């Protein structure tokens, strides 16, 4: 299966316009953003767990990165409420579930094979640091390594910036509104910018909170081991 699999092209999607698709597990549905592969895939997806649902235990051969958008995500490591950012590296294993239900933004099979860094950040408690080079912007660093950089940015009303992204970029609006290259973005809008591109963004009248990942799209690989 291939969905938005040409990584030389810019993509803009709004999650609320994408139909939910059933997964192999009852009560777990998906909104695919990009995908290369079948059930084991290099994928970027919004996943919804109905209350009391669970996914079978599995190993992440290519790693897993997610943000809890709503509700509480649960596994053997604990409870992760809305605003949790988690990186589970290659070879990690868990049994995801949600007693109250939850929605997550998740990326699979997109880690460097040698990456073994585990990351848990509560975005609700993380203190953003003002960026002196970009008035109206404050940043929460989330991860930096293996050629990629991940951060949460708080944009004040109408704050604007441009950034060259030789390794490509992704943006996910968590709160508020913005534009990127003139495209109107709202909560759970997702943008993928190809390598060699530019982020050209401006916050809306109420500002925005945006998850940004850069430097990770130069090497696109397809999984060859188990994961889910």
pLDDT tens-digit series, residues 50-75: 999 998 898 988 999 999 999 999 99
Which pLDDT score is estimated for 61?
Answer: 87
Are 227 and 40 in contact by the 8 Å Cβ rule? The answer is yes
Neighbours of 69 (CB within 10 A): 22
Among the ranges given (13-27, 37-51, 124-138, 163-177), the one the predictor scored with the smallest mean pLDDT: 37-51
CA distance 161 to 117: 30
Half-sphere exposure of 157 (CA within 13 A, CB side): 2
Return the pLDDT at 226: 33
Asked whether 193 and 170 are in contact (CB, 8 A), the reply is yes
107-137 pLDDT tens trace: 999 988 899 999 999 999 999 999 999 999 9
Phi, psi angle pair for 17, to nearest 5°: -105, 0
pLDDT of 218 reads 83
Average pLDDT, the chain: 93
DSSP reduced 3-state for 192: strand
Question: For residue 172, what pLDDT is reported?
Answer: 98
- Give the per-residue pLDDT at 37: 83
Average pLDDT value for residue range 181-189: 98
Confidence band for 20, pLDDT divided at 50, 70 and 90:
very high
Q: Could you give the CA distance from residue 10 to residue 26 in angstroms, rounded to a whole number?
A: 33
199 vs 24, residue with greater confidence: 199
């Amino acid at each position: 299966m291939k969905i938005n699999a040409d990584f030389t092209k810019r993509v803009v999607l709004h999650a609320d316009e994408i139909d939910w698709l059933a997964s192999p597990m009852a009560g777990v549905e998906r909104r695919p953003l990009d995908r290369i592969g079948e059930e084991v895939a290099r994928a970027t997806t919004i996943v919804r767990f109905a209350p009391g649902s669970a996914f079978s235990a599995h190993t992440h051969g290519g790693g897993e990165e997610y943000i809890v958008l709503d509700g509480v995500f649960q596994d053997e490591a604990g409870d992760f409420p809305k605003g949790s950012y988690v990186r589970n590296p290659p070879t990690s294993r868990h049994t995801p579930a949600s007693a109250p239900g939850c929605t997550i933004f998740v990326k699979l099979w997109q880690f460097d094979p040698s990456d073994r860094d585990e990351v848990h950040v509560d975005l609700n408690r993380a203190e953003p640091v003002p960026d002196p080079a970009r008035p109206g912007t404050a940043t929460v660093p989330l991860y930096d390594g293996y050629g990629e950089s991940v951060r949460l940015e708080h944009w004040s009303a109408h704050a604007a910036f441009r950034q060259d992204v030789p390794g490509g970029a992704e943006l996910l609006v968590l709160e508020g509104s913005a534009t990127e290259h003139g495209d109107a973005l709202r909560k759970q809008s997702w943008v993928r910018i190809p390598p060699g591109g530019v982020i050209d963004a401006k916050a809306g009248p109420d500002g925005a909170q945006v998850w940004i990942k850069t430097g990770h799209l130069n090497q696109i690989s397809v999984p060859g081991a188990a994961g889910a």
